[in-house]
Amino acid sequence: QVQLVESGGGLVQAGGSLRLSCAASGRTFSNLAMGWFRQAPGKDREFVAVINRSGDSTDYADSVKDRFTISRENAKNTVYLQMNSLKPEHTAVYYCAASRTGALPRWRGGYGYWGQGTQVTVSS
């Protein structure tokens, strides 16, 4: 089992930045690929970014490339999502997810563990 707890969400003005954190426990963190997803009101949960086990490979949704950065600290069992130049359309609940696969999954089914989410609200 893996427990994931997100933090760092909140209210920010357009153009601002936030850094989300996700702390993992219960399984060897370095054996897990870690992803971020988001779900806006009335929409499906969508892929945002993923990082591999060692942290040297990442993948992003086209909509967040050059704006968001995913990183991890295996010594702290934590994955981060740095979000810059935020826009109102980035408003959503952001979820951290863990995958035992060695790949970089973009689909929800590739993840076996999920956090409860953290709300990000970007005001115009």
What tokens does 53 get?
Answer: 């086990």
Contact 38, 9 (CB under 8 A): no
**CB under 8 A, 24+ apart: contacts of 110-115:** 110/35, 111/35, 112/2, 113/1, 113/2, 113/3, 113/4, 114/4, 115/4, 115/5, 115/6, 115/22
Distance CA 118, CA 74 (A): 21
pLDDT in tens, 62-101: 999 989 999 999 999 999 999 999 999 999 999 999 999 8
pLDDT in tens, 17-71: 999 999 999 878 999 999 999 999 999 999 999 999 999 999 999 999 989 999 9
